[in-house]
Chain A
């Protein structure tokens, strides 16, 4: 492995850059900005709303053929294969997201039978499971085969779905007498399957996405022990203009660092004065930080963990302004996964003034089986003032 790292490092030094890169939206290409699911944590039988937001070349609803696979196999190495790909009945519609984007919305229903069909759930579902996990599962449950357990889950879910608050309390009481809800939450992770959604954009390319189906959202009605994954929310974005050039990190609480703070609203254009003696940092504040409990947590500390919010910036300059200007002169944003702060480098060409920027925030929580990365997208506009 290490020799590839050496090669990689040498190539990083030796390679020249492509004029195009993922973060920069191109005028003549269809760029997917986000697939936003509502809910982001679905159970069999749920109706799901998916908003696909595109930038660059415009997209209409009739340009996309939607298809789906409810039968996805995942190997030990994490490679997945979709079987029985079929057309998705989803009523695609063009909806408005922003002036600079195209947004197609679809609605589809998760089949009740998805878990029965999925090759991810083996008949001997405890086989290959570490003994410590297996010990968490009540013996009467452990002795059930896959279909027997699924039957139980489906019936229970059906009861919970249709139950009123009084009935829920009753179910909860009965279940709590028999089981530890945390253990059941762990069990639900083992009964998590993937489906795949395909969007074939005519004249462009094919888009593929994974969606996770599990019973957490249903059982969440019963108890908050059953955690659900929700889409993050972007509360605000601010810009720091720090009076020192060449910085790669910035801490606003540092009293000795002079800076100016700009709010970056999503509904109006932000004016950014360019000063080559300054460094610009862009920061986002998000909410809807979910918690969850992994199987490892369950058997060790029992502590719930917080999901992490990741940020992706995409942008383009005014397509009329950047026509004859080298991409090397474009603005740039360096994100840091570990930090909420990103460096914004203003364009080096004074003709590049207007820009549109999209911030996509998605969540991550390691060690939860096949957890879907829920996401949110927001658009911002701005202008550089030289």
Chain B
């Protein structure tokens, strides 16, 4: 056959053989061989059709495939590809000759040829004749089989936990970087292997590294990692980058727990941008994270209220919260809506509710809504923290005053529990000091306190949450005056003792329910047992023991998208037994007992949250409070001034209130707000002023009206300001009156005629928490006055402090150091000057030798008060726990300015001395995990 003719013939067959070869390829069991065909040119086909060609009816079919040898060293090197062969298949179907058209590697080419020569085809058929054909065959050498043979299995897993706290680090990126000691036994190239294992679900390849992420428990797993040395890296926001070297060995599971340092262990980890939706005009909300490290507060979160605008500086050692010029008893304290019997141990030393168990503190200096009653000053609500449900947490704390523990954690999926206990040892320290300095002391002092808290949270369902809090405290103070003993044996068996104790136990249950899409309900029920007793030498003794039942419920109904109705019940009733004995002016023991005395407040309220436009919120509300202990004709309409026209109408001893709060966000970052409302409370000092013997039994409730206007400005994401102007007026304030000296009339001891007014401006410029800093500037300009009916003019009230400026800041530094400062400048308190002296010729237990003759009331001021506090915290973070310590330097300004607390006089008032708070150092240690 002529070559050209053969060429043409074969050329035609190329087309047909290609089809045939494809079929053969499909029959092949080997992935390494494949017949392919190049498409012939159209002109060639046209030409061939005119020659002596024959038509192949049946293409050769590969019947015996021979596997070409694929040398492992080439597989390992990843050398693969397609060897294109020309096969001349004779009429018998065997391969006569093989030619390499395109090669891959000499070994593979020759192996492919050797294998192809042994192929057996069914011969090509043209009609009934078998014919020889030439076809091209692609012999493919591929490593896919090796790759497919790799099965996924976990050979490296672990858990990332936060160093110190053992908190799981969720959603962290975990990266495995392969070091140089790559596994030499891998049957295929490393990059091919990586490519293969990166396709396993849960991990992927990124720049030559295998990457996965942690789940919510901080767990991670890697599949089928090659045996080699790796570097494990963890990257998560808020944490230092973690890296460690690990060795993956063949067919062994490597496990590990990795502790990662948080970037900051300060209390600033929660970065708050923007604000939550506000309803109240005057509310200041303080998160616990902000305040634990404010200098001068000894780590006590509740005391931070004293650093807020509108709160006057209390006397040294007093935790009294003097809100907008009102006395401390005008402000009520709540724990989750239930009145706390006492806020502080020893009147200001430490708050009775453990700061670690707090979620937040809401402080209302005035103008608060209808959900709070029975107070004409302010309201403070402490919100308890839910028990942690992620893991067990334990904190142990020792300071110069006391020590406490707090443990919390889940019991099961639905129940978590928190428990804390605290005990003071200041008494032991003082006793030790006094014992070693007997010559300086003529008394022994034994202060002692403890408190406890057990809170159980139950997640009943997604829409229902329950909690039960058991909370109690005891304060006990005994002073034995070694050089004094006086009074009556009837009142005290120990006439040299001044003692006081106060104990309470409270059990509270709370139920927060989402009743349906439009209704929510908040219920609180509490029983509080409260016992107070005191003895003052042989002069006076008292015991009070009572049980308080508190029921608070608020039902909120979303009427429309822009209207919400809140209906509430607020009942707090106490039944108390009182035993009081005291020496009267004639050294005669006077006793008073009162069994099952019922007092408290029963209130109900309703308010409507209306948003006529999204930027405007108006909340009108009504409230009615009934005081069972009072016996007077209450008002029938809310009193916004001291109106008299309804006097004498027989009404129960209660008071209605109307309050209106409104806020208008007139710009994206600015809001104006205003409120007006009237308020009332049982007259104070409680019990005494309505006592049938020492008080005025017909004393009415004390009333007040608050007007507040203000402006809020979110200056930047983290800086905001709040300016408020207020005017408060109070009337029916009990005032003690002097004896009229009329022998034919019963002495009147208390009058209802007291009138007070307070007004001022408050500024709060606040830098919110960031990772490194928080702080604020609080300034109050205020005036508090009482009306003098005798002089017929207004006089300064005792709590008047014109200027009150507080600046504080706290920085989180490297190596877990925190430093903070607090500076306070406060105008001196008004004081009444002493213009003369009267000497009492008879000096006994009651009469001082010299009695001062007061001048015009509050006509002088003591010098301004300035105090600077510093605090340094240092935290040591270990894998499984943390240890922190702090030093709180209080009043270090003493060394350059002695702020006056009061004036002290010598025995005959001829010499005066300024009494200052001494500088103090508080040291504390805390261990936690």
Contact = CB atoms under 8 A, between A and B. Distances in A.
B836 A206 contact: yes
Contacts of B584: 76-78
Contact of A295 (B317, B588, B739, B904): B588
Given A1-B536, A14-B916, A130-B591, 4 more contacts: A11-B904, A19-B911, A29-B910, A79-B739
B840 to A, nearest CB: 6
B479 A9 contact: yes
28 contacts: A2-B347, A2-B477, A2-B502, A3-B319, A5-B500, A6-B349, A7-B316, A11-B915, A20-B908, A29-B910, A34-B841, A74-B585, A75-B738, A77-B585, A77-B694, A79-B585, A79-B739, A119-B741, A205-B837, A206-B837, A207-B839, A209-B841, A248-B438, A335-B483, A338-B483, A338-B484, A366-B538, A367-B587
A6 B348 CA distance: 10
Nearest to B447: A6
Contacts of A370: 585-587
Given A3-B347, A295-B588, A367-B488, A205 B739 contact: no
B846 interface: yes
Nearest to A246: B439
B193 interface: no
A367 B842 contact: no
Interface string B311-334: 000011111000000000000000
A120 interface: yes
Contacts of B739: 73-75, 79-81, 119
Contact of A3 (B346, B844, B910): B346
Interface stretch (B389-397, B743-751, B821-829): B743-751
B741 A9 contact: no
A317 interface: no
B496 A338 contact: yes
A118 interface: yes
A268 interface: no
Interface in A284-312: 294-296, 310, 312
Interface residues of B toward A: which range?
35 or more
A14 B918 contact: yes
A78 B744 CA distance: 19
Nearest to B692: A128
B696 to A, nearest CB: 12
B588 A1 contact: no
A3 B838 contact: no
B800 interface: no
B882 interface: no
Nearest to A14: B918
A263 interface: no
Nearest to A312: B843
B485 interface: yes
A122 B743 contact: yes
A5 B318 contact: no
A366 B477 contact: no
Interface in B727-760: 738-744, 746-747, 749
Nearest to B912: A18
Interface string A1-42: 111011101110111101111100000010010110000000
B863 interface: no
Interface in B786-808: none
A379 interface: no
A204 to B, nearest CB: 9
Interface in B571-599: 583-591
B488 A207 contact: no
Interface of B: 315-319, 346-349, 438-439, 442-443, 445, 447, 475, 477, 479, 482-490, 496, 498, 500, 502, 534, 536, 538, 583-591, 693-694, 738-744, 746-747, 749, 836-846, 849, 851, 904, 906-908, 910-911, 913, 915-918
Contacts of B746: 122, 127
Contact of A1 (B447, B484, B500, B910): B500
A259 interface: no
A232 to B, nearest CB: 13
Nearest to A78: B585
B843 A75 contact: no
Contacts of B319: 3
A122 B747 CA distance: 10
A208 B586 contact: no
Contacts of A1: 500, 534, 536
Contacts of B318: 3, 7
A15 B534 CA distance: 27
